[in-house]
Amino acid sequence: MTLTLDAPLVATPLGRINPVAKLAATAVVAVGLLVTVDLVTASVVLAAELTCLPFAGVGWRFLVRRAWPLPVAAAGVAIANVVASDASSATIGAISLRLVAIALPGVVAFAATDPVDLADSLHQQLRVPARFAYGSLAALRLLPLLSVEWQTIRRARRARGIDAGRSPLGALALFASAVFGLLVAAIRRATRLAAAMESRGFDAGGPRTVARRQVVRGADWALVAASMLVVGGANALAVVLGTWHPLLW
């Protein structure tokens, strides 16, 4: 299997939202949910998310394909808590729901953001230095190449007659030697890429222009405001209903 860095939701309305705005909205949800462990806040936010997703162009098919690990992880957390802790079932439910409600916007935002747009937006809106924003972007582009390289290294070990045998220690040694091979390959590729970028004037210290303007529009502000409203409203509702329970779990 090869790793791909596709962003399947780029063409949706959400895909057109400024990447930093998406990042901000995701952060608002995370912070707003981390301050409390209660069923009301978590379920209101999650319900709001699921209601809004279709309007943002995110279909159920996408959710099934990309977000299926979330309920699985939530169930895992719940089971672990039931077995290992004496927390009430409401608390366990809240912890699990909160996990899904925090992670879902992240999964969706990631799939709806082209990495190039993210780098542009980080550089232009948040003033992240180009060296960091585009350097990371270039590194990201190497990942699929390295996943192919990893496969080749594993095959080469088979060809050399090397297998782990039955001992876990052998498996560990085999894995470590393949990791070393991958590191060598990664450093070589990264060095080449850095030289190529440098030769094209990247990070030369002079002025730099931007070919793609990333702007913050009304819709971007609206997304951040809406996420604040939902999270704030959910917390307020929980306070009113008396379930609000500040706990940094």
Partner 1 sequence: MSAVVQARGWGWRHAGRRGWALRGLDLTIDEGERVLLLGPSGAGKSTLFQGLAGLLRAPEAGDPEGSLHVHGHLVSGPDPRTGIVFQDPASSLVMSRIGDEVAFGLENRAVPPGRIWADVRAALSAVELHQPLSHRVEHLSGGEQQRLAVADVLAVAPRLWLLDEPTSNLDPPGAALVRHTLRQLLADRSTTVIVVEHRVDDLVELVDRVVVLEPGGGVRHDGPPAEVFCRHGASMRASGVWVPGCTALRRVPSSAPGPPVVAAAALGVRYPAAAADALCDVDLEVDAAQVTAVVGANGSGKTTLALCLASLLAPTSGAVRFLAGGPDVPYARWAPRDLVRHVGTVFQEPEHQFVAASVRAELAVGAARTKMAPEETQRRVDELLERLRLSHLAAANPFTLSGGEKRRLSVATALVTRPQLLVLDEPTFGQDARTWDELVDLLAEARDDGRAIVTVTHDEELVHALADRVVRVDAGRLVSDQDAGRLVSDQVVREEPVGDAR
* Among residues 212, 217, 225, 229, the one that binds partner 1 under rule CB under 8 A: 212
Any contact of residue 138 with partner 1 (CB under 8 A)? yes
Any contact of residue 129 with partner 1 (CB under 8 A)? no
Q: Kindly state the smallest distance separating residue 24's Cβ from partner 1, in Å.
A: 24
Residue in this structure with the two tokens 């290992």, named with its chain if needed: 84
Q: Kindly state the smallest distance separating residue 58's Cβ from partner 1, in Å.
A: 21
Any contact of residue 131 with partner 1 (CB under 8 A)? no
Are 227 and 29 within 8 A, CB to CB? Answer: yes
Are 98 and 42 within 8 A, CB to CB? Answer: yes
CB hemisphere CA count around 172 (13 angstroms): 3
* Among residues 34, 63, 77, 116, the one that binds partner 1 under rule CB under 8 A: 116
- Cα separation, 24 vs 124, whole angstroms: 15
Instruction: Return the number of the residue (131 or 245) whose C-beta is nearest partner 1.
Output: 131
Any contact of residue 157 with partner 1 (CB under 8 A)? yes
- Cα separation, 48 vs 118, whole angstroms: 25
3-state DSSP of 132-165: HHHHHHHHHHHHHHHHHHHHHHHHHHHHCCCCCC
Any contact of residue 145 with partner 1 (CB under 8 A)? yes
Any contact of residue 156 with partner 1 (CB under 8 A)? yes
Please list, residue by residue across 64-81, b when 16 or more beta carbons sit within 10 angstroms of its beta carbon and e when fewer do: eebbeebeeebeebbeeb
Instruction: Return the number of the residue (68 or 249) whose C-beta is nearest partner 1.
Output: 68
| Residues at the interface with partner 1 (CB under 8 A) | 1-2, 5, 114-116, 134, 137-138, 141-142, 144-145, 149, 152-153, 155-163, 177, 181, 184-185, 189, 192-193, 195-202, 204, 206-213
